A and B are shown apart, each in its own frame.
Chain A
């Protein structure tokens, strides 16, 4: 697999994560031509692969999206979903830099409509 041409949008992250994700793509594609690896081995490989810090994980998501590697995208998105599923809205805003544009009344109403989720 040859290295793709970089766009100007996020060269740094793709440069940093491409070698890691490219080597994964090679290892998974080569197993499809040879005998398939046992499911448990692949699962534990996947679990180890995503044991990285959050910044690297986001870079992997961006790289997988750019290189259109669906399996890696599924794995990394699921990992991040599992990491943040118990966070409060304030924590999630901080992680993804989302601006809170609700007025206090609007926010109270949205919280009331979804009140069961906060119990």
Chain B
């Protein structure tokens, strides 16, 4: 009789590679990254786009429900530092980050707020694309300056995925003072600079997005969605503004017929979801967009807050109730009621309940304390979490300077004075991206310094 360890080794080697790939596709992203070091063949197989798609599907649906993550709150003093990790670069800490979009195939856009906590109205420091399951972070290039009174001096970003080119796109909406808002698009790992949307028509935002500080942008059914206002002064009925990832055109979706204009959007079960704010309404509605083309909404469930049901009692004590996920094969909804006052010593502050629309039952998931493993989790809101191996793309300057011909061009252009470079920015987008990049500005400055050295009698006027 063979010893047990030898028997296990023999049987393990008989597992064919396609089944082994199935097993790897069910592991968390961090474990898959370690398995890329097994052999050359596995390094290639576990980095292919087909495997990444398969991993996204298999690693995230366990028993039909998704994982949740407990988020830190930057305003409460929690440490929200992420360490910016890119291949072949030193580790950099990015502090005071907040997510401005929901996860799209695992990726999320972060905004890093400046160190000065008092100047809440000053523009944010920078935006990054981040994959929390692999830890990779890539900085987005600076977009055009947003101008106007707060909050219009902050650009609003959305993240989506275009399956036809298999790339993520970041959409940036920004205000230009008295002019209507404008839009630019950055395709991850593509050209390295922002460009105008490529749609044939309706490539300017049709409304003023009101997301800043209130909501994240949502990607569902091929479109990126924001809550928006038709007019600059935030008057008029709010609408949902959409931007198609494939066509790059804007659209407007009116909200469903409700008795209130206080609503928010999120993603539920892969579709756009709209839910009411709790204050001063008699029922809590959750609507789901059935069809983006026709704009038809389905009422998923409604809780009558005036009734004496346990659900109504539970929800009435909250300021807002956010649907997180549909569980149990579509039968029940996971809700996150946000309490009116969050006090640090109140351990029951954040809640997670599962609501059954069929019989009105409410199950409190945090009641027996078995889900909480660390005391700090009770003060933090939960959100759905997606494991993913998607890359956040190369840094934009690496993309621009990756081609030999553009490196040669940069060496030529650095010898020109600044006023001529100003004209040459109009040649094409690539030339402008090179001239405005930090790397080129340093090259140009170094060249100026070489010219001004004492041994050289000529001083060029800049």
User: Chain A residues in contact with chain B, CB under 8 A?
Assistant: 10, 13, 43, 53-55, 58-59, 61-62, 65, 73, 77-78, 80-82, 84-86, 88-89, 92-102, 106-107, 110-118
Q: Please name the residue on chain A nearest to B34 by beta carbon.
A: A117
The answer to whether the Cβ of B263 comes within 8 Å of any Cβ in the partner chain is: no
Contact call A62/B8, Cβ cutoff below 8 A: no
Partner of B39, one of A43, A88, A98: A98
With a CB–CB cut-off of 8 A, which chain A residues contact B31? Answer: 84-86, 117
User: Assuming the A-B contacts A43-B63, A58-B12, A107-B37, are A77 and B19 also in contact, with contact meaning beta carbons closer than 8 angstroms in the complex?
Assistant: yes
The answer to whether the Cβ of B40 comes within 8 Å of any Cβ in the partner chain is: yes
The answer to whether the Cβ of B23 comes within 8 Å of any Cβ in the partner chain is: yes
User: Assuming the A-B contacts A89-B38, A99-B39, A113-B87, are A78 and B30 also in contact, with contact meaning beta carbons closer than 8 angstroms in the complex?
Assistant: no
User: B22-34, CB under 8 A of A: which get 1 and which 0?
Assistant: 1110111011011
Cα–Cα, bound, A78→B25 (Å): 9
Q: Please name the residue on chain A nearest to B131 by beta carbon.
A: A116
A/B interface sample: 26 pairs, CB < 8 A = A13-B11, A43-B63, A53-B8, A55-B10, A58-B8, A58-B11, A58-B15, A62-B19, A65-B16, A77-B26, A80-B23, A84-B27, A89-B34, A89-B38, A92-B34, A93-B39, A95-B8, A96-B12, A99-B39, A101-B41, A102-B37, A111-B37, A113-B87, A114-B37, A117-B30, A117-B31
User: B4-22, CB under 8 A of A: which get 1 and which 0?
Assistant: 1001111111111001101
With a CB–CB cut-off of 8 A, which chain B residues contact A81? Answer: 23-24, 26-27
* The 10 residue pairs across chains A and B that have the minimum distance between CB atoms: A97-B13, A117-B33, A116-B135, A81-B26, A114-B33, A85-B31, A55-B11, A58-B11, A89-B37, A85-B27
Q: Please name the residue on chain B nearest to A54 by beta carbon.
A: B8
User: Assuming the A-B contacts A116-B135, A117-B134, are A102 and B27 also in contact, with contact meaning beta carbons closer than 8 angstroms in the complex?
Assistant: no
- Within residues 119 to 178 of chain B, which ones have a CB less than 8 A from any CB in chain A? 134-136
Contact call A112/B87, Cβ cutoff below 8 A: yes
Cα–Cα, bound, A62→B22 (Å): 12
The answer to whether the Cβ of B431 comes within 8 Å of any Cβ in the partner chain is: no
User: Assuming the A-B contacts A55-B4, A81-B23, A113-B87, are A13 and B34 also in contact, with contact meaning beta carbons closer than 8 angstroms in the complex?
Assistant: no
Contact call B38/A53, Cβ cutoff below 8 A: no
Q: Please name the residue on chain A nearest to B37 by beta carbon.
A: A89
User: Assuming the A-B contacts A62-B14, A116-B134, A116-B135, are A100 and B34 also in contact, with contact meaning beta carbons closer than 8 angstroms in the complex?
Assistant: no
Contact call A100/B39, Cβ cutoff below 8 A: yes
Cα–Cα, bound, A34→B116 (Å): 66
Cα–Cα, bound, A111→B35 (Å): 10
Contact call A55/B7, Cβ cutoff below 8 A: yes
Contact call A85/B28, Cβ cutoff below 8 A: yes
Contact call B34/A118, Cβ cutoff below 8 A: yes
Cα–Cα, bound, A15→B51 (Å): 32
User: Assuming the A-B contacts A84-B27, A97-B9, are A78 and B62 also in contact, with contact meaning beta carbons closer than 8 angstroms in the complex?
Assistant: yes
Contact call A95/B37, Cβ cutoff below 8 A: no
Contact call B39/A102, Cβ cutoff below 8 A: yes
Q: Please name the residue on chain B nearest to A81 by beta carbon.
A: B26
Give the distance to chain B from A115, nearest Cβ to Cβ, in Å. 7
User: Chain B residues in contact with chain A, CB under 8 A?
Assistant: 4, 7-16, 19-20, 22-24, 26-28, 30-31, 33-43, 62-63, 85, 87-88, 134-136
With a CB–CB cut-off of 8 A, which chain B residues contact A86? Answer: 31
Cα–Cα, bound, A98→B45 (Å): 14
Give the distance to chain B from A91, nearest Cβ to Cβ, in Å. 10
Cα–Cα, bound, A83→B20 (Å): 13
Cα–Cα, bound, A73→B23 (Å): 10
With a CB–CB cut-off of 8 A, which chain A residues contact B28? Answer: 85
Partner of A77, one of B16, B23, B36: B23
Partner of B14, one of A13, A88, A99: A13
Contact call A116/B85, Cβ cutoff below 8 A: yes
With a CB–CB cut-off of 8 A, which chain B residues contact A80? Answer: 23
With a CB–CB cut-off of 8 A, which chain A residues contact B63? Answer: 43
Give the distance to chain A from B23, nearest Cβ to Cβ, in Å. 5
Which interface residue of A88, A97, A112 has the most chain B CB atoms within 10 A? A97
Give the distance to chain A from B1, nearest Cβ to Cβ, in Å. 12
Contact call A110/B23, Cβ cutoff below 8 A: no
Contact call A78/B26, Cβ cutoff below 8 A: yes
Partner of B38, one of A98, A116, A118: A98
Q: Please name the residue on chain B nearest to A88 by beta carbon.
A: B34
Q: Please name the residue on chain A nearest to B62 by beta carbon.
A: A78
Cα–Cα, bound, A93→B9 (Å): 10
Q: Please name the residue on chain B nearest to A64 by beta carbon.
A: B19
Give the distance to chain A from B32, nearest Cβ to Cβ, in Å. 8
Q: Please name the residue on chain B nearest to A96 by beta carbon.
A: B12
Q: Please name the residue on chain A nearest to B15 by beta carbon.
A: A58
With a CB–CB cut-off of 8 A, which chain B residues contact A99? Answer: 39
With a CB–CB cut-off of 8 A, which chain A residues contact B26? Answer: 77-78, 81-82
Partner of B37, one of A58, A110, A116: A110
Give the distance to chain B from A41, nearest Cβ to Cβ, in Å. 14
With a CB–CB cut-off of 8 A, which chain A residues contact B135? Answer: 116-117
With a CB–CB cut-off of 8 A, which chain B residues contact A115? Answer: 85
With a CB–CB cut-off of 8 A, which chain A residues contact B23? Answer: 77, 80-81, 84
Cα–Cα, bound, A38→B19 (Å): 30
Contact call B40/A106, Cβ cutoff below 8 A: yes
Cα–Cα, bound, A99→B40 (Å): 10
